[in-house]
Amino acid sequence: MNKKNAAKETLLKEIAKCRSCRFCVDVCPTYQASEGVESMSAYGRLQLIKYLLTGILEFDDSLTYCLYSCLQCRRCEVVCKSKGQDIDICKIIQMGRSLLSQNLVQGNSNEKI
């Protein structure tokens, strides 16, 4: 398994831990700033990464904007931990960005990650 595929597998395993409780949604500053767009929240971004990795979605302007607008402030993780889960949400978004960045820099912006 190459490095890219190993990263994808790790990401999907981590995302699968999410119980979809959505407690992280309300505390996300970009969710608040977007006045309630769930794709602009921590939970929304995890779902986007999952669907990008499984090939259901391809990245476009909106998805790129959602992933790169995360402030990495970790407010979502504080809530996640307090609700009994301990998902490293910002690390997942960071790894998602990493996969996306490689494609964007190489000019393969229409490929799936």
Partner 1 sequence: MKRSKTLIAQALSTLKENMERTGDPLGFRHTYWTEWANGLGLPKGGKTVLLTARMYQMLPYVIQTTDMVASIKPLLAIKGFGKVLSMGNRLAGETVIRLKAIGAKKIKARGTKALKGIISALNSVGEYPAYLYEAEPYSGVLLYDLGLEDGIALHINKVYELLKDHGVEEVIAVDPHTTFMMKEIYPKYIKNYDIRVKHYLEVLSEGKENLGNTSHKDLPKEFVMHDSCVMTRDLGIVECPICLINLMKYEAELGVRVWDMGEILHAALVNPSSK
Q: What residues line the site for partner 1 (CB under 8 A)?
A: 59-62, 64-65, 68, 71-75, 77-78, 94-102, 104-105, 107, 109
Q: Smaller CB distance to partner 1: residue 3 or 20?
A: 3
> Residue 50: in which H helix or E strand, if any?
helix 42-53
Shortest distance, position 101 Cβ to partner 1, whole Å: 4
Q: Smaller CB distance to partner 1: residue 20 or 107?
A: 107
| Closest alpha carbon to 28 in 89, 102, 107, 98 | 89
Tokens representing residue 82 in the block: 């307090």
Shortest distance, position 22 Cβ to partner 1, whole Å: 20
Shortest distance, position 112 Cβ to partner 1, whole Å: 14
End-to-end alpha carbon distance in the chain: 16
Q: Which residues, at least 6 apart from 60, have a Cβ–Cβ distance to it below 8 Å? A: none
Rounded to the nearest 10°, the torsion over CA 61, 63, 69, 73 is -170
Q: Smaller CB distance to partner 1: residue 5 or 20?
A: 5
Shortest distance, position 75 Cβ to partner 1, whole Å: 8
